[in-house]
Chains A and B, each alone.
Chain A
């Protein structure tokens, strides 16, 4: 079946502009995650959705970052007043339902969106 898809694959913007990054999870996956990966580093957690609600947004670096998942499927990561330090690859992952204390469930990643802030 289809995997996680992300659009656009590349986004170049100017400092101070607003951007939206989109993630389509695997069909039927209720959990959706956003991570950010800087060059030469491992991915870093940003936010996690279970259904429509943000279950954990502790990784968002500041209030310029916001994410939504209004219908429990597609998610959009929104970044206001972009800064050069926001340049990175933004990865989305999805998994079947996963709750605290339960055995871990594999997260499947999309190809990422490469964001460049000039």
Chain B
């Protein structure tokens, strides 16, 4: 059974204070690891797909990295508008996504 664990559950940062979110996973045959952003009352918004260990992807202040056991979402010099819940999900042999519980990020000005 595929499993995803995200840490921390919640993270409070000051504007400009860089940090990283962790996503640990176990999956039979990883086809892809996904990062989504979710704002309150909205559906998950796609950020990145990572396919293989060593891969990195960047978008504005966000960078996602992947190893064989975990993924990190690095946030550089965050702004208040980066406040959201960040969800990590894996896709194994089936087509469904298995999600972690998410990290609730709050960035204070």
Contact = CB atoms under 8 A, between A and B. Distances in A.
Nearest to B48: A106
Chain A, interface residues (CB within 8 Å), range: 20 to 34
A85 interface: no
Interface string B72-109: 00000000000000010101011111111110000000
A115 interface: no
Interface string A1-23: 00010000000000000000000
Specify which of B36, B97, B98 lies most central, judged by the most chain A CB atoms within 10 Å of its CB. Answer: B97
B94 A107 contact: no
A98 interface: yes
A106 B94 CA distance: 14
A41 interface: yes
Interface stretch (A43-51, A61-69, A71-79): A43-51
A91 B43 CA distance: 7
Nearest to A6: B43
Interface residues of B, number: 27
Interface in B34-49: 34, 36, 41-46, 49
Specify which of B31, B93, B95 lies most central, judged by the most chain A CB atoms within 10 Å of its CB. Answer: B95
A75 to B, nearest CB: 15
A112 interface: yes
Contact of B51 (A91, A103, A111): A103
A42 B101 contact: yes
A112 B32 contact: no
A111 B43 contact: yes
B43 A104 contact: no
Given A40-B101, A104-B31, A91 B96 contact: no
A53 interface: no
Given A103-B51, A108-B46, A56 B95 contact: yes
Interface of A: 4, 31, 33, 35, 40-45, 48, 50, 55-56, 59, 91, 93, 98-100, 102-104, 106-112
Interface of B: 4, 6, 31-32, 34, 36, 41-46, 49, 51, 87, 89, 91, 93-102
